[in-house]
Amino acid sequence: MKKISKLIALLLAAFMVCGLLAGCSGSGSADNATSTPTEASQATEESKTEETPAATEESKAEETPAATEESTPAETTGDVTDLPRNETLYFGGLQWGTVNAWNPIGANQNNFAIAGSPQGSRTVMFETLYMYDFLSGKLYPLLADGDYTWNDDMTELTFKIKEAAKWSDGTPVTAADVAKTFEASVAIGNGTGTTYGAYIDSIEADGLTGVIKLAKTEEGGPKNPLLAIDYLTGVYVAQAAWIDTMMARNNNDPVACLNDKAEDVPYSGPYGRLYDDDQKLVLVRNDNYWGQDASMWGSLPVPKYLAHAMYADNAATETAFKAGQIDVNQQFLPNIQNLWLKDGLPISTFYDEEPYGVCLTMPTAWYNMNIPVLKENPALRKAIAMAVDYPSIIANAMTNQSPSFEDVPRSLMNPTEGEQALYDHDAVKDLQWAGNDIEGAKALLDEAGIVDTDGDGYREWNGEKISLNACCPNGWSDWQAAMEIVAAAGENIGIEITTLYPEWSIYQTVFTMHDQTEYQIFMYSPSAASPSNPWMRCMMFMSSSFVGIDNNWSGNWGQYVNEEADEILNKIPTISDEAELKAAYTRLTEIYLTEVPSFSLMYRPAAFDAVNETVWTNFPSADDGRNITPYNCVSGYAIRALYELELVD
Mean pLDDT of 378-393: 97
Distances in Å between the alpha carbon of 124 and those of 301, 320, 349, 435?
Answer: 10, 23, 22, 42
| Among 22, 23, 20, 24, CA closest to 42 | 24
- When mean pLDDT is compared across 63-77, 317-331, 509-523, the lowest value belongs to 63-77
pLDDT at 28: 31
Say which CATH architecture domain 361-448+502-605 belongs to: Roll (3.10)
CA–CA dist 317, 302 (Å, integer): 24
Question: What percentage of residues in the chain have a pLDDT greater than 70?
Answer: 87
pLDDT at 116: 79
Most confident listed range (74-88, 283-297, 306-320): 283-297
Question: What percentage of residues in the chain have a pLDDT greater than 90?
Answer: 71
Tens of pLDDT, residue by residue over 104-144, are 999 878 899 998 776 789 999 999 999 999 888 899 999 99
Inter-residue contact 438 to 490 (CB < 8 Å): no
Greater model confidence, 7 or 536: 536
Inter-residue contact 71 to 169 (CB < 8 Å): yes
pLDDT at 198: 87
Q: Is the per-residue pLDDT at 18 higher than 70?
A: no
626 three-class SS: coil
Q: Is the per-residue pLDDT at 612 higher than 50?
A: yes
- Please report the sign of the dihedral spanned by the C-alpha atoms of residue 313, residue 316, residue 321, residue 327: negative
pLDDT at 135: 86
157 three-class SS: strand
Q: Is the per-residue pLDDT at 47 higher than 70?
A: no
- When mean pLDDT is compared across 163-167, 482-486, 526-530, the lowest value belongs to 526-530
250 three-class SS: coil
Tens of pLDDT, residue by residue over 423-447, are 999 999 999 999 999 999 999 999 9
37 three-class SS: coil
Mean pLDDT estimate for the chain: 86
Q: Which residues pair with 90 in a beta bridge?
A: 307
117 three-class SS: coil
CA–CA dist 290, 20 (Å, integer): 48
| Among 630, 612, 632, 616, CA closest to 87 | 616
Greater model confidence, 113 or 11: 113
Q: Is the per-residue pLDDT at 401 higher than 60?
A: yes
Q: Is the per-residue pLDDT at 6 higher than 60?
A: no
Q: Is the per-residue pLDDT at 59 higher than 90?
A: no
Q: Angle 420-421-424 (CA atoms, 0-180°, nearest 5)? A: 95
Amino acid letter for position 519 = Y
Mean pLDDT of 604-621: 95
CA–CA dist 165, 171 (Å, integer): 9
Q: Find all residues with CB under 8 Å of 229, minimum gap 6, and list them.
A: 139, 531, 532
| Among 162, 467, 469, 426, CA closest to 290 | 162
Amino acid letter for position 106 = G
Strand 328-329 relative to strand 88-92: parallel, antiparallel, unpaired?
Answer: parallel
pLDDT band at 49 (very low <50, low <70, confident <90, very high): very low
pLDDT at 488: 98
pLDDT at 440: 97
pLDDT at 77: 34
pLDDT at 39: 28
Q: Which residues pair with 159 in a beta bridge?
A: 210
306 three-class SS: strand
pTM of the model: 0.80
- When mean pLDDT is compared across 67-76, 115-124, 376-385, 531-540, the lowest value belongs to 67-76
Element of type H or E holding 112: none
DSSP assignments along 419-475, one per residue: HHTTS-HHHHGGG---S--HHHHHHHHHHTT---SSSSS--EETTEE-EEEEE--TT
pLDDT band at 637 (very low <50, low <70, confident <90, very high): very high
What are the E-state strand segments in 479-576? 496-500, 521-524
CA–CA dist 474, 164 (Å, integer): 48
Tens of pLDDT, residue by residue over 526-553, are 876 788 889 989 999 999 988 998 778 7
pLDDT at 81: 60
Task: Give the side-chain half-sphere CA count within 13 A for 184.
Answer: 31
pLDDT band at 333 (very low <50, low <70, confident <90, very high): very high
Q: Is the per-residue pLDDT at 252 higher than 90?
A: yes
Most confident listed range (25-39, 484-498, 531-545): 484-498
